Chains A and B, each alone.
Chain A
Amino acid sequence: MPTITNNGTESWRLRTSKEQWIRWVCWLIGITIIMYAWQMISEKTVWFFVTDAPNQAADIGARMVPPKWSYMDKLWKPVWDTINIATLGTVIAMVIAVPVAFATARNTTPNIVVRTIGLFIIVSSRSVNSLIWALILVFILGPGVLAGTIAIGLRSVGFCAKLIYESIEEIDHTQVEAIEATGASSSQKMLFGILPQVLPTIAGVGIYRWDINIRESTILGLVGAGGIGLQLNGSLNTLAWTQVSLILIVILVTVFISEWVSAKVRGAII
């Protein structure tokens, strides 16, 4: 127990002197890094624009009301596209992610080389944002919904595969052993011993990712990959602020509904 001697009497304290010094040095390093980061950012900032921001905000805010409700007629198709991008993208992702997850999980991987490849697929898919995937795919496939769908799919593979392979590693081995004892082949072991245990996770992950993808697919239009982002970009570029506010409301409502659906379905599965 750390104590301190003060005027000859020993009393309790929380930390020893050494611990206190270490904490002090860590705080010093942390705060130095933060101050330096702030310094670097503020050097590149035009402070006049920042101090002017409240005026700008008031100005834009005034231009955004009231939302142009009649524009809604032109938004139904983009909303439908946005939902399709998210849904089909999630389907693509799950079709790729499940085999990758089985190839990556420690207890089902055929060998270390396949596992490494699987991990590499997961990390590179997770590191590259869907907007960057879309940027690349628009170059290859042309602007449109297809590029957005594939971008969402490629981006989601890593997320889904990671969560699925972690749950494969955490399964109950006694069931697999029981199946093995009946003389099952390794594919039968996977189908009857492992898959039923992870099926709820797979379904849950798919729904969860679908919810995230709805959010992500609203912005893919910024680089030309279809969905409501296309309208948002157009309205922003033409300074049609009343249309922008309507689009933001539509995005808000879509995201709320998808979140509600996802929570309900996941509640029913798990």
Chain B
Amino acid sequence: MADSSGTDSYPSSWKKAPFIKNSFVRWLLIVGGAIYLAAALGTMNIDIERVKEGLPRAQRFLDSFFPPNFADNRGVLWEGIAESIWMAIISTVAGIALSIPVGLGAARNLAPAWVYLFCRGIIAASRTFPEIILAIFAVKLFGFGPFAGFVALALGTIGFYAKLLAEDIENSSASQAEAVKATGANWFQWVNYSIQPQVMPRMIGLSVYRLDINFRESAVVGIVGGGGIGATLNTSFSRYEFDTAAAILIIIILIVMAMEYTSSFMRKWVQ
């Protein structure tokens, strides 16, 4: 609150408190932000002429999207979608199977320091590179087709799932773990009976969520040769079959919406 009517009289108006209290930091952020914006926009070399030229083209481009063509002239549309779904399922399952040992190793309360650092390293490496870059290398190694996409998505799943699993284990209640340990349980019994029941509900929800992500990502790994609906989409762009591309995009959006509703429903049901 700021007093705007002098020091001796009663304040008669009120000013909203600023979000950042320290006025020096506030002005530093504003001025710094303005300088950065100017510098960034300056080096972006936006070509207004090109944009003007592009706008009628955009109009034509969007016109050629409609009406979407679901007729599937080359008979590849549904095949591509089925391939994406299989790829998403199998890569989620394989990714989670790989994540469980990594996640257990990356939990500070379960693993010794060197295992912890090693597993955290795997997670960091997998999280840094987008699925697309993993897919480029998978295609180089395993050749074109859904197998490369499957490997890329499974590796991408590790970074996501193992990290959340490790965090969940670190946040789990220590007293239950201690109680099970007091019965003389060995390490596997200890993890299975004290940690696993605590993290299970959230992990089931997350695996459904990851399935959803993997399906979405499977739509792009195809662009670099990883199979699935992305390959079909890329082909239809290259062949200027924009009405088919529109149909594919609409189908992807519908499937993702359906999966999102299913996953939020399942998460509620599990918890």
Q: Which residues of chain A have a CB within 8 Å of any CB of chain B?
A: 33-34, 36-38, 40-42, 44-46, 49-50, 53, 56-57, 60, 77, 80-81, 84, 87-88, 123-124, 126-129, 131-132, 135-136, 139-142, 144-146, 149, 192, 196, 199, 203, 215-216, 218-219, 222-223, 232, 236, 248, 251-252, 255-256
Task: Say whether A127 contacts B147, CB under 8 Å.
Answer: no
CB-CB nearest in chain A for B233: A132
A sample of 9 more A-B contacts (CB under 8 A), given A49-B142, A129-B216, A196-B19, is A44-B83, A77-B43, A135-B223, A135-B234, A139-B57, A139-B58, A139-B61, A144-B47, A146-B44
Q: Is B140 an interface residue (CB 8 A)?
A: yes
Complex contacts, B224 vs chain A, CB 8 Å: 222
Task: Say whether A40 contacts B82, CB under 8 Å.
Answer: yes
Could you say which of B87-95, B111-119, B166-174 contacts chain A? B87-95
CB-CB nearest in chain B for A199: B19
Q: Is B67 an interface residue (CB 8 A)?
A: no
Complex contacts, B182 vs chain A, CB 8 Å: none
Q: Provide the bound-state CA to CA distance between A223 and B256, in Å.
A: 23
Q: Which residues of chain B have a CB within 8 Å of any CB of chain A?
A: 16, 19, 36-37, 40-41, 43-47, 50-51, 54-55, 57-58, 61, 82-83, 85-87, 89-90, 93, 124, 128-130, 132-133, 136-137, 140-143, 145-147, 150, 216-217, 219-220, 223-224, 227, 233-234, 237, 249, 252-253, 256-257, 260
Task: Say whether B141 contacts A57, CB under 8 Å.
Answer: yes
Q: Provide the bound-state CA to CA distance between A84 and B41, in Å.
A: 8
CB-CB nearest in chain A for B256: A127
State whether A88 and B220 are in contact (beta carbons under 8 Å apart), knowing that A44-B145, A44-B227 are contacts in the complex.
no
B206 to chain A, nearest CB (A): 17
Task: Say whether A41 contacts B142, CB under 8 Å.
Answer: no
Choice from B51, B58, B141 contacting A146 with Cβ under 8 Å: B51
State whether A123 and B128 are in contact (beta carbons under 8 Å apart), knowing that A44-B146, A128-B249 are contacts in the complex.
no
Choice from A37, A140, A196 contacting B89 with Cβ under 8 Å: A37
A96 to chain B, nearest CB (A): 17
A146 to chain B, nearest CB (A): 5
Task: Say whether A50 contacts B54, CB under 8 Å.
Answer: no
Complex contacts, A136 vs chain B, CB 8 Å: 61
Residue contacts A-B, CB under 8 angstroms, 15 given: A38-B86, A44-B83, A44-B147, A88-B40, A127-B252, A127-B253, A127-B257, A139-B58, A141-B54, A142-B54, A145-B45, A196-B16, A219-B133, A251-B129, A256-B124
Complex contacts, A42 vs chain B, CB 8 Å: 147
Choice from B90, B150, B216, B227 contacting A127 with Cβ under 8 Å: B216
Complex contacts, A248 vs chain B, CB 8 Å: 129, 133
Complex contacts, B82 vs chain A, CB 8 Å: 40
CB-CB nearest in chain A for B141: A53
A183 to chain B, nearest CB (A): 15
A151 to chain B, nearest CB (A): 12
Q: Which of A33, A40, A46, A216 has the most CB of B within 10 A?
A: A40
SS of A interface (majority) = helix
CB-CB nearest in chain A for B259: A127
Complex contacts, B133 vs chain A, CB 8 Å: 218-219, 232, 248, 251
B270 to chain A, nearest CB (A): 13
Task: Say whether A34 contacts B132, CB under 8 Å.
Answer: no
State whether A60 and B140 are in contact (beta carbons under 8 Å apart), knowing that A45-B147, A123-B260, A135-B237 are contacts in the complex.
yes
Complex contacts, A218 vs chain B, CB 8 Å: 130, 133
Complex contacts, A149 vs chain B, CB 8 Å: 44
Q: Provide the bound-state CA to CA distance between A57 and B143, in Å.
A: 12
Task: Say whether B145 contacts A140, CB under 8 Å.
Answer: no
Q: Provide the bound-state CA to CA distance between A251 and B132, in Å.
A: 13
Task: Say whether A132 contacts B141, CB under 8 Å.
Answer: no
Q: Provide the bound-state CA to CA distance between A53 and B244, in Å.
A: 35
Complex contacts, B16 vs chain A, CB 8 Å: 192, 196
B40 to chain A, nearest CB (A): 4
A207 to chain B, nearest CB (A): 13
Complex contacts, A142 vs chain B, CB 8 Å: 47, 50-51, 54
Q: Provide the bound-state CA to CA distance between A128 and B245, in Å.
A: 12
Task: Say whether A56 contacts B227, CB under 8 Å.
Answer: no
Complex contacts, A144 vs chain B, CB 8 Å: 45, 47
A12 to chain B, nearest CB (A): 16
